[in-house]
Amino acid sequence: MKNFKVNQTENFRKRAHDLIPSGAHTYSRSDHVFPENTPAFFTSGKGAICQDTDGNSFVDYGLSLCSVSLGHAYPTVTEAIKGQLGKGNSFSRPSILEGELAEELVELFDNAEMIKFSKNGSDVTSAAIRIARAYTGRDLVIRIKEQPFHSFNDWFIGSTSKSGGVPEAVKKMVLRGSYNDLEGIRSLFEENPKKIAAVILEPMTFEEPKDGFLHKVRELCHKNGSLFILDEIITGFRWDLKGAQHLFNVKPDLFTIGKGFANGFPCSALLGPRELMELGNLEGPVFLLSCTNGAELVGLTAAQATVKVFKNEPVIQHIWDYGRKLKDGMKELIQGSGLSDHIHITGYPCRPGLSFQETDLASSLELKTLFVQEMIKGGILMDHIAISYSHGENEFELTMEALNSTLEVFSRCIKNRKVKPAIEGKVISPVFHY
């Protein structure tokens, strides 16, 4: 077990909580979602390693909420940005780069004729919903209740437990189906004839689509005059270079990308066919996406440099290979410790999932708190598992070493029927219930 210095960041933490609701500008970066021994702040990162304010290093499986796909401070991306910075970042007319990157991405994806960039995933999924509503003249949207997030905008947040401030009328506009439950979604269509504008979903989170689920939802949408929208903010540039839509051979009417394709810099995009996207022309009815910083060049430059690496190097292959090795290695150790009933490794190798089985000893969140806490002691940040192009043999070895120690603690706690006392602080809690 590594012996980390008692950190000197408590003062910074207090100041942040004084000034910022929940102490962080992204809820999923706040203290609530991490065990108390997690560093309060990270100050730098290189490759798959990040460093806290006391200079302690951690193998990073958080990767800034899945967005740092190549690795921190990836040299070609950093160099490209430096090159742009000396020439200014934002002008009163568009840049050539906007068009160049648009061309590269429209060419890359199977189902895109036009594209619109923005700065985050929330904007572009909201824009997809707006087009669907304008195109169909309908208000209702179906989403998948197990999928945690599409947007911080009203249409989505109104359908979660954190819906304060969203008008009642808006809250009623989102219906919730279940992943792989085609009949449930069919019933929603039957109960709301000619009222559903779209179904929006991630092609996959941790559960694989079964029995042609994606294709059948698409069919159901089209039979009912609705659009089929894929949120590929996470799956794009992770499941496949051309997105999970390519891997599963399913054609969305509209889709979004965000995390991963600019290696943690701000860039996201909505893509789709001309017929739908042109509703967002100035002559059309939809105010699609338009913000002052939409054209800033750091994000676009980072995206172009990142996509270039994805296209020219085996990034996707590496993410899958590392993920396969990680899943296998973790499963073997968990099995060897007799903990297979308590800790499950799920998902595809490109995005392994971690889940904890509730027992009479502890809730799944308590078990997760203990796990993440012990991994942190071993120098591994693993509140979820995202893999980058920079994760290699060294990171793998460190992970297995930390996991070994973590599982020893876990086994002892379970054997002695004392899980809760081993948690050194509060239990983590999700941002909201979805």
Ligand X SMILES: Cc1ncc(COP(=O)(O)O)c(C=O)c1O
Distance of closest approach, residue 71 Cβ to ligand X, in angstroms: 19
Sheet holding 140-144, edge to edge: 114-118, 268-272, 254-257, 227-231, 196-201, 140-144, 174-177
DSSP state of 6: P
Distance of closest approach, residue 317 Cβ to ligand X, in angstroms: 23
* Choice between 289 and 422, CB closer to ligand X: 289
Crossing angle (nearest 10°) for helices 364-377 and 393-415:
130
**At residue 259, what are phi and psi to the nearest 5 degrees?**
-60, 140
CA distance 58 to 245: 33
* Choice between 47 and 236, CB closer to ligand X: 236
* Choice between 270 and 403, CB closer to ligand X: 270
Distance of closest approach, residue 88 Cβ to ligand X, in angstroms: 25
What are the b/e assignments for 193-208, b being 16+ CB within 10 Å?
Answer: eebbbbbbbbbbbbee
In the complex, which residues of this chain contact ligand X (CB under 6 A)? 65, 120-122, 125, 149-151, 202, 231, 233-234, 258
* Chain Cα centroid distance, residue 391: 18
Distance of closest approach, residue 236 Cβ to ligand X, in angstroms: 10
H or E element at residue 46? strand 42-46
* Choice between 258 and 379, CB closer to ligand X: 258
Sheet holding 380-381, edge to edge: 42-46, 49-52, 57-60, 380-381
Distance of closest approach, residue 379 Cβ to ligand X, in angstroms: 25
Distance of closest approach, residue 202 Cβ to ligand X, in angstroms: 5
Distance of closest approach, residue 244 Cβ to ligand X, in angstroms: 11
Distance of closest approach, residue 140 Cβ to ligand X, in angstroms: 20
**Residue listed under structure tokens 């070895």:** 397
* Choice between 31 and 231, CB closer to ligand X: 231
Token pair in block for residue 90: 């934002």
* Choice between 58 and 149, CB closer to ligand X: 149
* Choice between 39 and 121, CB closer to ligand X: 121
* Choice between 143 and 327, CB closer to ligand X: 143
Distance of closest approach, residue 255 Cβ to ligand X, in angstroms: 11
Q: How many CB atoms lie within 10 A of CB 378?
A: 20
H or E element at residue 322? helix 315-336
Distance of closest approach, residue 234 Cβ to ligand X, in angstroms: 5
* Choice between 152 and 396, CB closer to ligand X: 152
Cross-strand pairs, 380:
59
Q: How many CB atoms lie within 10 A of CB 362?
A: 24
* Chain Cα centroid distance, residue 198: 21
CA distance 280 to 213: 30
Q: For ligand X, which residue has the nearest CB?
A: 121
CA distance 108 to 193: 36
**Residue listed under structure tokens 């001309």:** 274
* CB-based contact 54:5 (threshold 8 Å): yes
Q: Please provide the DSSP assignment of 134-164 as one string.
A: HHHT--EEEEETTS--S-SSHHHHTTSS--T
CA distance 228 to 221: 6
* Choice between 319 and 413, CB closer to ligand X: 319
Distance of closest approach, residue 32 Cβ to ligand X, in angstroms: 16
Token pair in block for residue 268: 């996201």
* Choice between 243 and 258, CB closer to ligand X: 258
CA distance 145 to 159: 9
